[in-house]
Structure formats: C-alpha cells, structure tokens
Structure 1
Amino acid sequence: MDELRKAQAAVAQARTRLTQAVLAARAEGRTWADIGKELNMSRQAAFKRFGEPVNPATGERIVARSITSLRERTEKVFALIAASEYDDLGLFMHPQTAQELPAELIADTWRSALSEVGTLEHCVDTSLELPGGAPLADDEQIIGTVVGSTILECEAGRLQGRVAFDEQSRVVGLLIVPVDYEPLPF
C-alpha cells in the first residue's frame, strides 16, 4: 500500500507541476493554441483545464467545479434508461435537453440499440473527458462541459454510451453508438 500512496502523491505532484508550467507558459506570452498543441489537445481543452476565465459582468474569476461524481452519474444515467425510469432520468437533465430528448425518443433509441446487443448487464471502463476526447482525472477541477464515456456491456455485444454534462452537472447530451463509431459528435 505504501507504493500506491507514493504513486498517488507523484500523480498529484505531476498535476501541480503541469499546471505551474502552463501558467508560466501563459506568463511568457504563449497562446492557448501553443499550449494545447504541446499537450496534444485543442486550445479550448487546454483553456478549460488550466484557464482562469473572468465573468465580464462582475470581473470575478469563474471558479472550476469538482467532477468527482460524474463517473458514477454517467453509469446511473444508463441504468435509469435500461430500467425505463424516465421520470428519474429527467431529474438529471437540463430542462431544454429534456424537451429535445423526450422519454419516448430515448426509449425508442434504447429499444433499437438493444435489438442489436440484448439487455444491459453493466458498465465498464467509465471515464471522464473533455469534448473532443482529452481525458480527465476524476479529481480534476473543470469549467464547462464534461463528457462521461462508458462501455455498455450487454448480453450479446457492447455499445459506447456517452453523456455530456453542463457546468451544473446536468445532462445536456446522450449518445449510444457502436464501440468503434467515429467521429463522435461529443
């Protein structure tokens, strides 16, 4: 267990060093595009992860939020869909998204998917990422949209399930596609 603790401490140190290096690069005049390119992510993804945006109306810094619960929430969304518990699912959804993705549409899409792969058994390899695919650690602080991605293990096959969450952790997008589907819209 000592090795685990040491490795976890090293990861935390590396994140701190990376953040400090990004801030130093910004102080030297590097653009978000430069930083994103160096980190193999888009400039927007770099900004969302390391930027310090300011609310133009108030001049106050916009504070990043914790995303620790979004991995579990991603799996919960698909469990609710699989159980046809659309009223409970609606509690997680942004009101506009709930209008654009009514329960009937979600149910029809789910039935269509299940006709190919059978009943959902469980979710595996659930992860969090920025739109565009840059991976996130569960304990990162982030501003804006976060995507929960999971593999839906079904009785006769696998699907990829994706949930886009807004800055208040409400569902703003759902996607159910074959595991190797490309390109992903979010």
Structure 2
Amino acid sequence: MTDSPLSLTALSAQLAEQASALAASAGSPLTSPAYLDLVRRAQQVDALAEQVLKLCVQQSRDAGHTWQELGDLLGVTRQAAFQRFGKPIDPRTGEPMDKTVHMTDAAERATRIVTDVLEGRMDAARPSFNAELLAAFTDQVRADGLATVAGLVGAFEGFGDGEPFVRRIGDHTVVDIPLRYEAGDMKARVAFDTEEKAAGIFILPAETA
C-alpha cells in the first residue's frame, strides 16, 4: 500500500520547519564541513518548495484558474507553465502521459551535438541523428539555417548563462541550451526520440516555450 500524497498544509509545515533550520544554521558560526551541511539543508528546502508550488498550481487549476493566469504569475508563457506543471492525457491511450526524463545524459549529449553543428563538425554530429534527421539535415540545410539566424541576431558568441533545461514532452526528451549572439539571446533545442537519437535540432528565440 502506497502512502497518500501530503496535503498542502502538511507540506507547508515541513517547508517552514526546514527553512527555519536552514536560517538557524546560516546564522551560526560555521566551520568548513558545516558549509556542506548548509548546502544539504538548502537542497531540502528547494525540493520541498517545488512540491508546495506544484500543489498550489494544482489547486489553482482545480479552482478554475487558467494556464494563462498561472503563466503570468510565474513570469512564463502559459505553454511553459503547462509543460512544467500540467498533467497531459495521451490521446492514444486516455492515460496520463509520462513526464519522467529517463535520459540521464540528455543535457551533455545535446550540448555536444549543438557544439558540433555550430562549429561545422557534422561528421561528429551525425552518428547521434535518427534516420529522419539524418536524411533531412543536410549541409545545405545547416548553412541556410545558420544564415537565417545570423541575419536576425548577428554572429554567434558562445553559450549563454544558465544550465540546459531538460524535460519530457510527449514521446520526446527535449533539451534547451542558452546561446549568446551579438544582437540577442537565442537557444538551441534538441529533441531525442524514444531510441535516444536526435530527432530534431532548432535554434529559436530565447523566449520560445
């Protein structure tokens, strides 16, 4: 028998207790090993805060609030809010879709692929492509795509601030990687299929959901 989910009241109480413990530890004189304990406590607070936020969003949806309202409050698009907190139903089965990311190295692999593509090492990138992408993503397609991006935001200057963002969308594992160009920020998006092969590579405006 599995435990029932904790209520918002119980989770909030746990969060308050952990946050108080963190504040007490941070306010005390620290020796070197204690800094690692501070990180552990902060990690626990962060995990509990995420659970509280998810439950608050769920209850707001149950009360009739829209994804647009929640996105505005969280400072993201309604699509981004849904992708983070929603519970999509698979139209093929009628069951909730699995949002668990199973590719533990998705961020590293996506970053490597994007680096190879941007630097023209297509022979290194192509072994990671599935058959459809291998056929579609020719050297000409790459050149035309990069020319379009250069026309919008100028020369590529390097990877942007922030870590790659990995999530599961439908049957795909999707990774967004911040990129910095001379006239604006963009992001690379790599989608992996169920065989963990790259099924799509895009360069998009940074605000794209």
Which blocks of at least 5 consecutive residues in structure 2 are unaligned?
A: 1-35
Pairwise CA RMSD = 3.8
- Which one of 176, 181, 187 corresponds to residue 162 of structure 1? 187
Larger Rg: 2
Q: Equivalent residues in 2 for 1:7-156 (5 A)?
A: 7-66=42-101, 68-81=104-117, 84-93=120-129, 95-106=131-142, 123=159, 125=161, 127-129=163-165, 141-143=167-169, 146-151=174-179
What is the rounded CA distance, in whole Å, between the counterparts of 2:161 and 2:46 in structure 1? 20
Query: What is the SS of the residue equivalent to 1:48?
Result: helix
Distance 1:95-1:123 versus aligned 2 partners, 3 A rule: same
Which blocks of at least 5 consecutive residues in structure 1 are unaligned?
A: 130-137, 177-181
What is the rounded CA distance, in whole Å, between the counterparts of 2:59 and 2:201 in structure 1? 35
- One-letter code aligned to 2:113: V
Tell me the percent identity. Answer: 24
Structure 1, 86-95 or 42-51: larger mean CA deviation = 86-95
What TM-score results when the alignment is normalised by the length of structure 2?
0.59
What TM-score results when the alignment is normalised by the length of structure 1?
0.65
Deviation, 1:13, is 1.0
Deviation, 1:106, is 2.8
Deviation, 1:78, is 3.3
Structure with higher helix content: 2
Task: Answer yes or no: is the 8 Å Cα contact 2:192–2:199 preserved in 1.
Answer: no
Report which structure shows greater RCO (CA 8 Å, sep ≥6): 1
